[in-house]
Homo-oligomer: A and B are copies of this chain.
C-alpha cells in the first residue's frame, strides 16, 4: 500500500485567479463561521477550499486580510438588502417593516454569513472589526435616519434617536440569533414580533393592541 497514495483524480484543472478567490472566500466564511476567527486555521480553510495554503496568501493575503475580505463581502450584501428594503418610499412604519423583513430574510438564507458577521466579528476587538463596525454603523444610520425623519422635527434629542437605533439593531441581532435555534418559526412571524415590540411597545401590547402590515 502507498504506491501513488496521493494521486488527486486528474487534478481539478488550473483555474483563473478570480474563481479561486471566490472559492477561498466561500471556504473561509464556512470555517470562520464554524470555529470563530482564532480557532479557524488557515490549513483548514485551504483544505476546504481545495487549494494549498500559499495560494491563499498569494491571493487574499494574511489571515486578518482574509477575514476582513469575508466581512466586507457578506456585510455589503446584508446592508444592501436592508437598504433596498427601506428605500421604497412609504410611511415610516412600512419602511421599518420592509427593512426588518429584508434583514430576517437575509439571515434565514445566509446563516453562515450571519454567524461570521455577528458572532465572530463583533467579538474580536482587533482591526477586523473596523470593517464590520463600519457596516453596522451604516445599518444604525439607516434606522436613525428613519427615526429622525419620522419624529417630525419635534425637539427630539439627536442622541436619543441614535441610541434607539442602536437598541433596535441590537434587538434584531439578538432575535436573529434566537431564530437560528428556532428555525420552525417563519420569517414573517419573527419580523412581526420585533415590529410589534418596537413600534407598538409593550405598553400597547399588554393592552391587547398590535401592529399589522397594511398589505394590499
A interface vs B, CB < 8 Å? Answer: 35-36, 38-39, 92-93, 96, 119-120, 122-125, 147, 150-152, 154, 159-160, 162-164, 166-175, 177-178, 182, 185, 190, 193-194, 196-206, 208, 211
Contact = CB atoms under 8 A, between A and B. Distances in A.
B197 A198 contact: yes
Contacts of A190: 163
B206 A150 contact: yes
A198 B206 CA distance: 12
A203 B198 CA distance: 8
- Please state the number of chain copies in the assembly: 2
Q: Determine the main DSSP class of A at the interface with B.
A: helix
Given A36-B125, A124-B36, A171-B170, A198 B202 contact: yes
Contacts of A164: 193-194, 196-197, 202
Given A164-B202, A168-B171, A170-B172, 5 more contacts: A35-B125, A123-B124, A170-B170, A203-B204, A203-B211
21 contacts: A92-B206, A93-B203, A96-B202, A150-B206, A151-B205, A151-B206, A160-B193, A164-B193, A164-B194, A166-B178, A167-B174, A167-B193, A170-B170, A170-B173, A171-B171, A171-B174, A198-B198, A198-B201, A198-B202, A199-B201, A199-B203
A135 to B, nearest CB: 15
A17 to B, nearest CB: 32
A138 B42 CA distance: 37
B200 A203 contact: yes
A24 B212 CA distance: 53
- Most chain B CB within 10 A, of A154, A166, A168, is at A166
